[in-house]
Amino acid sequence: MKISVIGTGYVGLVSGICLAEKGHQVICVDQLSTKIDQINQGISPIYERGLNELLTKNIHRNLSATTDLNAAIQHSDISLIAVGTPFNEETQAIDLQYIEAVSQAIGGCLRHKSSYHLVVVKSTVVPGTTDEVVLPALEQSSGKQAGQDFGVGMNPEFLREGNAVEDFMSPDRIVFGGMDKKSTDLLFELYSVFKGVDKIATNNKTAEMIKYASNSLLATLISFSNEIANLCVAIGGIDVTEVTGAMHLDKRISPILATGERITPHVTTYLEAGCGFGGSCFPKDVKALIAYGEKAATPMPLLDAVMTINAQQPYQLIKLLKKHFPELANLKVALLGLAFKPDTDDVRESPTLPIAQTLIESQAQIKLFDPIFKHLPDFLSQMNITLCQSLEDVITDVDAILLITRWPIFEQLPELLAKLPNPPLVIDGRRMLNKNTISRYEGIGLGKS
Ligand code: UGA
């Protein structure tokens, strides 16, 4: 099928390249000509494992990129909208300005198109947006009628940053909504190349809700684990890793097969204590759903608590640090990790940020190491942080180490510390190290007797 993908951010680009790899004819559209030039040269503007290889393989074969929206609409049967939907802190609601603008623009192009076209929202949007914002904007600017001249659908993505290509090519489910049967039929056809995958066809609002509910559930599991962890510390004598480890063995969470073998689902890793979730999705989506609930006169106290717990969680590391060093001024602290999770260079909503901010305000001296960063991102370059290029460097001559991102390389820490004459205190924000291998150890959820 002929597809145009509007927006070449991480969702749009991954979707466009992967759909081309699956055999569709794809045109990627973006208003930034520098991005389009890069894509046409076979260079991905973002890093995602495996993406560049697929781009080079497909560009100028099944795949092209352009800034010309009208040409893309005229030469495709389906358009996927994949523009940003940030959370606006001022209005405390999802910001739909890019969705609205692109819907208007697509409608303008449809005015000059005689054949049927399907417009599908791929961006994460609150329930009702596709039917109540996108559809009317398309009708208004095209002068045409939805359901007759064009269709409207909604197709959320479930891509994890760092695993996006793998998640797209081998999905666990494909969810799509449509305003009518014609719209969903076309989406069935689009995704027929994904054989043997569960496909859920529903209405647009439900598809929108499935995305929010899925992310909110995972965020809830994380905050739940952190709330239990903090109580373990307050009570003392309980290590949360023993508690969550035993919880994972509930056969409703990790089923036991007839062979006696146990299946440990990935979801158990969200049922582990840490210093909080970050990234561009969980915080934004949970906040957007809460705001949406309020608008619908349905407060969401559970999700409110999920966000409150998460906002406080990075400070648990500071609390543990202060237990050993009540005075933080001039304390030499090593921060391990800046990315919000491993295998990405995304620092949005990373727990490292509030931790670094607090330490700077307390006049501590900060060194930082993250294996993916050779330089500090611009917005941090004015801060008084020394970026180190190796794990050995960052842990030398410090009073305390705060482990924040679960990068596998940090597993080398016990071995490296053992070589130091006077090893610093280690505060494990991800409980990824064996507490018995480190002489001075504190961890999230480790209630000492
Ligand atoms: C998340 C969802 O997992 C995707 O399904 C969804 O498509 C995406 O949001 C989105 O809405 O676009 P992502 O933010 O890339 O994807 O990251 P995750 O890998 O799920 O990590 C989110 C947070 O959960 C991180 O802060 C991470 O530390 C934590 N996490 C992640 C865990 O606690 N355990 C894990 O095993 C993985």
- 301 and 343, same domain (yes or no): no
Residue 214 lies in a domain: no
Q: What percent of the chain has pLDDT over 90?
A: 95
Question: Domain with 304 in it: what CATH number?
Answer: 3.40.50.720
Best mutation site among 14, 18, 167, 277 for ligand 1 pocket (most ligand atoms within 8 Å of CB): 277
Question: 369 and 295: one domain?
Answer: no
The answer to whether the CB of 158 is under 6 A from ligand 1 is: yes
Q: Which of 359, 364, 367, 355 is nearest to 329 (CA)?
A: 364
Q: Specify the residue with its C-alpha closest to ligand 1, atom 25.
A: 277
Whole-model pTM: value is: 0.95
Pocket lining: 349 vs ligand 1, CB cutoff 6 Å: no
* 341 Cβ closer than 6 Å to some ligand 1 atom: yes
In the predicted model, is pLDDT for residue 92 greater than 90?
A: no
Domain contains 211: no
Q: Which domain holds residue 165?
A: 2-202
Atom of ligand 1 nearest to the CA of 344: 15
pLDDT at 394 > cutoff 90: yes
Ligand 1 contact, 270 CB (< 6 A): yes
Is the distance from CB of 26 to CB of 47 less than 8 angstroms?
no
CA torsion sign for 39, 41, 46, 50 is positive
Nearest CA to ligand 1 atom 11: 281
Please work out whether the CB of residue 215 comes within 6 Å of at least one atom of ligand 1: yes
Average pLDDT over residues 4-25: 97
- Residues composing the chain: 449
Same structural domain for residues 14 and 48? yes
Domain identity same for 158 and 263: no
Assess if residue 158 is contained within a domain: yes
The pLDDT assigned to 246 comes to 98
pLDDT value of position 418: 94
Q: Are residues 350 and 413 in the same domain?
A: yes
User: What sign for the dihedral angle of Cα 400, 312, 225, 322?
Assistant: positive
Q: What is the mean pLDDT of residues 131-141?
A: 98
In a domain, 329, yes or no: yes
Please indicate whether residue 88, judged by its CB atom, sits closer than 6 Å to ligand 1.
no
**Residue having the nearest C-alpha atom to atom 10 of ligand 1:** 281
Minimum-distance ligand 1 atom for the alpha carbon of 279: 14
Total domains, the chain: 3
Using the predicted structure, report yes or no on whether residue 13 has a pLDDT greater than 90: yes
**What CA–CA distance (Å, rounded) separates 422 from 432?**
22
At 245, phi and psi to the nearest 5?
-55, -40
- Ligand 1 centre to CA of 160 (Å) is 6
Q: Same structural domain for residues 147 and 180?
A: yes
pLDDT at 144 over 90: yes
Residue 435 scores a pLDDT above 90: yes
Q: For residue 313, what are the contacts with CB-CB under 8 A and spacing of at least 6?
A: 223, 226, 274, 275, 276, 351, 444
pLDDT (0 to 100) of residue 47? 87
Cα distance between the two ends of the chain: 64
Domain identity same for 155 and 256: no
224-282 confidence digits (pLDDT tens): 999 999 999 999 999 999 999 999 999 999 999 999 999 999 999 999 999 999 999 99
How do residues 338-363 score in pLDDT, each as one tens digit? Answer: 999 998 889 999 999 999 999 999 99
Q: Is the CB of 161 under 6 A from ligand 1?
A: yes
153 and 197 part of one domain: yes
Q: Is 432 in the pocket of ligand 1 (CB under 6 A)?
A: no
Domain boundary among 281, 311, 341: 311
Per residue in 297-346, pLDDT (tens digit) is 999 999 999 999 999 999 999 999 999 999 999 999 999 999 999 988 89
CB 128 within 8 A of CB 205: yes
CA 284 to ligand 1 centroid distance, Å: 12
Q: What's CA 339's distance to the chain center, in Å? A: 12
Last residue of a domain, one of 250, 277, 311: 311
pLDDT at 382: 85
Q: Are residues 325 and 236 in the same domain?
A: no
CA distance 12 to 348: 19
Whether 14 maps to a domain, the answer reads yes
Q: Ligand 1 within 6 A of 159 CB? A: yes
Beta-carbon contacts of residue 107 (< 8 Å; ≥ 6 apart): 137, 138, 139, 140, 141, 142, 144
* Average pLDDT for 401-423: 96
What are φ and ψ of residue 343, in 5° steps? 65, 25
Confidence label for 104 from pLDDT (cuts 50, 70 and 90): very high
Q: What mean pLDDT comes out for the span 31-53?
A: 96
Q: 270 alpha carbon to ligand 1 midpoint, in Å?
A: 9
Measured in Å, residue 313 CA sits from the centre of ligand 1 at 17
Q: pLDDT band at 114, cuts 50/70/90?
A: very high
Is 210 contained in some domain?
A: no
Instruction: Give yes or no: residues 389 and 348 share one domain.
Output: yes
At a CB cut-off of 8 Å and minimum separation 6, what does 426 contact? 400, 401, 403, 413, 417, 433, 438, 440, 441, 442
pLDDT at 449 over 90: no
Characterize the bridge pairing of strands 385-387 and 365-369.
parallel
Last residue of a domain, one of 138, 169, 202: 202
For ligand 1, atom 32, name the residue with the nearest CA: 270
Same-domain pairing of 138 and 251:
no
What atom in ligand 1 is closest to the CA of residue 160?
Answer: 15
Asked, for residue 289, whether it belongs to a domain, the answer is yes
Give per-residue pLDDT as tens, 153-193: 999 999 999 999 999 999 999 999 999 999 999 999 999 99
Structure letter (DSSP) for residue 179: S
To the nearest whole percent, how much of the chain has pLDDT over 70?
100
- The catalytic residues are 281
Is 52 contained in some domain?
A: yes
CA distances from 136 to 100, 129, 133, 144, 209 (A): 10, 10, 6, 10, 20
What rounded mean pLDDT belongs to the chain? 97
Report which ligand 1 atom has the smallest distance to the Cα of 156.
7
Q: Are residues 283 and 330 in the same domain?
A: no
